[in-house]
Structure 1
């Protein structure tokens, strides 16, 4: 059908220009297919480029590889019979295809969502993100003199690997062909800060500077000493409150387990610097709970103490996510690490978007949420 010619032309041009990111199919015609999405990416198999289709069924994934001409036929069939929408993501623009019930095809073009391509390696071997022979691991007493993980630090080692895996996936939205300034607010003893620096600089070979902000001077001194002994020349730690840190150049802002409103102070610094990426693992969530203490709540969810605590944690982080969206960030919330180690395992991420958000509609959502729980204000709102 000629209706899809615009999509196919854009797809072929994106592959030719080396700026194809991926293509997704969504809005299935019927739930009975048990196929909510199909994802298409470029892979290289035996030195030949193929388009790999991942059929994301409700119970499992299936993958099939096609050359471009075969892929066009498969896409046409899927859009005519199983899906109502497709989005082609390139480094220049996003092309959205909509198919009506009467098979009428329409197009929308939007600003590009991605700033980096996906890897084209098929059956990619598991990447080493932490090198056990790294000196900082010994100095932090994660490994012994034989470069073996000390048993009591095994959980910390797994956490570091999971953290780097998450960071790697998030960097898809960040231009990595320039120098990146990363600020880790509330860096503590620096386990994750050192690992991040080593991974980005020594393994990925990115041009990166990392600054750790930590209030406790003894930890700052310890971390700067370890950085020097590890020859991490572009890593430094500063003894300072998050509120006092003043640097308008922050490409990636990280705040893991910054207590209560310190998370909001960190998010504000990221927003003020127009950061490409804001990564938080919120902790404590006292501000709103204290604000509504003694206020009668209608919701039965708030009758019991433990549920009340968790509910206001979710409300606090939801408002944070909405404020990020209002400031043109795409947001997502997910589990950072297994909750068998800590219940404070939620990660909130905002990646800078070129698409303008509906600020008025987001404001209304925030207002409705505050009214429903009789909340006067969220601390992050007062900073903005």
Structure 2
């Protein structure tokens, strides 16, 4: 695949995006070297409204989606849709994925700001879906076989009312996974997988494997990446059930029985996922990721009992007594302190870390996510270590993750 001038590649993609009869969907994500677009990710598709055909743009920041509709306009007349596309093409996105009725185009911007374009032909042409009332920004249609097999959707292909929150959590988790993978691949922090050596993804504490199967489906079928996923859970029943689901779906996935702390994998994973591992199980997941030197880690913690219990036993340092005097405030402060210390410890282990909201609080109160990308080796000293040491000394606590890593 030879590089070509970026402007030429984007001009070609622009022609597809501006054709309502051809475009199925376009997605922009990642960022170019030395630049930062306004949005983490943008999705474009055409919808038919009462006022006529419009280009629907769904732009994602760190916490939520913003949807706008732009009129296509008559030929030769001003076109808000064309203006919106031109504005987005000017943003320094690192990747464009453009799906048409007959082809799929993947554009990746190199460090030299050139374009690598990979085009595949569809086995058969697809129709453009312009229904405005379809669920916005969903990664999977409701009747996707994976959702039906997992019991999230009914046999008729509709999301079950009792599974709406779970579906929302998995969707938002995958959005962050998609954006994080794209950036890590672009910057070279994550190796580029091949069919012979696929990307190894492990879901620690997978339970019923909602995230395991959703990640496999999304990364292989939507992003076209060669991937091998493994779910780890302590229950044999969970592994047997998930293996049966994988067999019925014809999905290549492995399920290992064991605790997060002790489970053995044939090869170290590239990506570690942990969704709502309870209390110190999140610390065990992070410790395993560090031990494996995983390139990317996404962990959404659940309850935070360990540090909260330590705060109850330890005198509160002045002048912070008001933070721990009332039980509900002490618990909330313990949540924040726990995740702040986890982020600091991961930085000491050579990871770039940020903490984001991955789903709105109305869906779940446990909506923080630690996203870590390995960028170097452990940090032995300096400001990061001093900041961490002062914080734990002030509060007189010992984080479980620090014990697991012998920090």
* TM-score clears 0.5: yes
Shift of residue 137 of structure 1?
1.8
> 1:28 — aligned with what?
none
> 1:380 — aligned with what?
401
Any idea what SS the aligned residue of 2:251 has? coil
Matched, 1:259 2:278: yes
Give structure 2 stretches of 5+ with no counterpart.
Answer: 11-29, 42-58, 69-82, 92-108, 119-129, 131-135
Aligned counterpart for 2:226 among listed residues 204, 207, 212:
207
Matched, 1:287 2:306: yes
Matched, 1:314 2:333: no
TM-score of the superposed pair, with normalisation by structure 1 = 0.68
Shift of residue 131 of structure 1?
3.6
Instruction: Return the structure number with greater relative CO, CA threshold 8 A, min gap 6.
Output: 2
Matches within 5 A, 1:1-384: 21-24=32-35, 92=111, 129-172=139-182, 173-174=184-185, 175=190, 177-178=192-193, 179-233=198-252, 235-247=253-265, 248-297=267-316, 298=318, 299=320, 300-354=322-376, 359-375=381-397, 377-384=398-405
Question: Structure 1 residues 324, 118: closer, same or farther in 2, change over 3 A?
Answer: farther
Shift of residue 210 of structure 1?
0.6
* CA RMSD in angstroms, aligned pairs only: 4.1
Shift of residue 226 of structure 1?
0.7
Question: Structure 1 residues 232, 324: closer, same or farther in 2, change over 3 A?
Answer: same
Output one character per residue of 1:228-252: Cα deviation in whole Å (capped at 9) or x when no partner: 101112x122221011123351100
Give structure 1 stretches of 5+ with no counterpart.
Answer: 1-11, 26-36, 42-53, 72-89, 95-115, 120-124
Output one character per residue of 1:187-230: Cα deviation in whole Å (capped at 9) or x when no partner: 11111221111111122221111111111222221111111101
Question: Structure 1 residues 38, 128: closer, same or farther in 2, change over 3 A?
Answer: closer
Q: Distance in 1 between matches of 2:39 and 2:153?
A: 40
TM-score of the superposed pair, with normalisation by structure 2 = 0.64
Once superposed, which parts of structure 1, at least 4 consecutive aligned residues long, lie more than 6 Å away?
Answer: 12-20, 37-41, 60-64, 116-119
Question: How many residues in Structure 1 have an aligned counterpart in Structure 2?
Answer: 303
- Do 1:144 and 1:150's aligned partners in 2 also have CA atoms closer than 8 Å? yes
Any idea what SS the aligned residue of 2:297 has? strand
